[in-house]
Amino acid sequence: MPTIIFTTLFYLAPESIQNLEEFNSSARVGMMSLKMGLLLLIFLQTFVLPVFSIYALHRFGFVSDLRMETLADRRIPYLVTVAIYTFVATFFTLKLHQFPEIALIITGIAFSIAAVAVISLYWKISAHAVGVAGMLGAFLGIAIQYGNNQLFYPILVVILIAGFLVSARLHLNAHTPAQIIAGTILGLVVSLSVIFLGNYF
């Protein structure tokens, strides 16, 4: 989801990322443009590394099933993922401070995952709902903050995907309606709060 979020922002609403267009026109990452280099870095840090870590936990017996349908299987992977996202947010804050919005959004995702990790110690909240609602919240928050009309269609697409996703989770009996609703509220509240409050820090 972070890769989808930043691909959308980089190419449809680049003005929402401070300094992005200025640096993209003058800087390159090897043979790639700065945008492509940043997206590759985000993809490796927020997708490949967590997936590899969860697979390693499975291979070493800490996770019995890669589908992680039980609370016991979810706890350690969530904590590991929180640690990874915290590292990534810190990395962008300290090393790539020219793009504070990237660090801000990843920080919001890290907060969401941390909340899911804590709640999952006691209750099976829908991480899928948290994720898709968080993406929706990020787009909504940025569209409101910057008055960005280019995000109108991405917002509609995310709403449509969210509907299909939560319907599928309910159809599969993977979650109760309460778990879906709680996940949706959590994702939206954290994402919107980080976007709106981030300008004050």
CA dihedral over 82, 88, 93, 99, signed as positive or negative: negative
Residue 130 pLDDT > 80: yes
The contacts found for 49-54 with CB under 8 angstroms, 24 or more apart, are: 49/84, 50/80, 50/81, 50/84, 53/77, 53/80, 53/81, 53/84, 54/80, 54/81
Q: Which of 20-29, 70-79, 111-120 shows the lowest per-residue confidence on average (mean pLDDT)?
A: 20-29
Give pLDDT tens digits for 8-26.
Answer: 999 988 888 887 877 777 6
Per-domain boundaries in the chain = 2-200
pTM above 0.85, yes or no: yes
